[in-house]
Amino acid sequence: FDDTHNTDIDQTTWRESDMIDDDDLSSGEDDAMSDDSSDTSDVVNDNWEEGVLEDLTSITCIEQYTIHQAIQKCRDFVKAVSKSSILSNFINKEKSKDKLSNSLMIDCKSRWSSTHRLVQSILFHKSIIGRLYAEKYELNLTRKQLIK
């Protein structure tokens, strides 16, 4: 049984015995190869699998889903404000009180930088959004707007 043909051995792992066959070397070549044999001990093992996550758990999917839901809520909120004159008037009045010049921005889904600006604009308006939800029953909104 020849163990050099074992399929369980990692092909990227080199052994010095695989590189130099002592039976094939003549005495003259042995001296010349002795210098080269010291170089073979410096062969680098390719351990590309080290540190690679192969098992993607459901936690990653849950985190991605949660982030997607949060971004979708931001999009829906900005769209609702832009479609409703009552909501946009409330936001504008509160912005003038807080002296904010930034506006709520909708994003383009294929541009990550615009999604960043969407989330950033929501964060700038965080206190105003909190007041909006605290006073939403006093704004004469429709039932559908109250639910959103």
pLDDT tens digit at each of 148 positions of the chain: 445 554 444 444 445 544 545 455 545 544 545 555 555 567 777 666 666 656 555 567 888 889 999 999 999 999 999 999 999 999 999 999 988 888 999 999 889 899 999 999 999 999 999 999 999 889 888 888 877 7
Please check whether residue 66 lies inside any domain of the structure: yes
Tell me how crowded residue 84 is: count the other CB atoms within 10 A of its CB.
Answer: 17
The count of residues in the chain is: 148
State the DSSP string of 77-119: HHHHHHH-HHHHHHHHHHHHHHT---------TT-HHHHHHHH
Judgement on whether residues 142 and 69 belong to the same structural domain of the protein: yes
Largest CA-CA distance found in the chain, in angstroms, rounded: 100
Judgement on whether residues 100 and 71 belong to the same structural domain of the protein: yes
Judgement on whether residues 67 and 40 belong to the same structural domain of the protein: no
Judgement on whether residues 36 and 68 belong to the same structural domain of the protein: no
Judgement on whether residues 32 and 100 belong to the same structural domain of the protein: no
Judgement on whether residues 67 and 29 belong to the same structural domain of the protein: no
Rounded Cα distance between 26 and 21, Å, is 11
Judgement on whether residues 38 and 106 belong to the same structural domain of the protein: no
Judgement on whether residues 65 and 80 belong to the same structural domain of the protein: yes
Q: Is-above-0.85 flag for pTM?
A: no
Please check whether residue 3 lies inside any domain of the structure: no
Please check whether residue 2 lies inside any domain of the structure: no
What residue numbers bound the domain in which 41 lies?
8-52
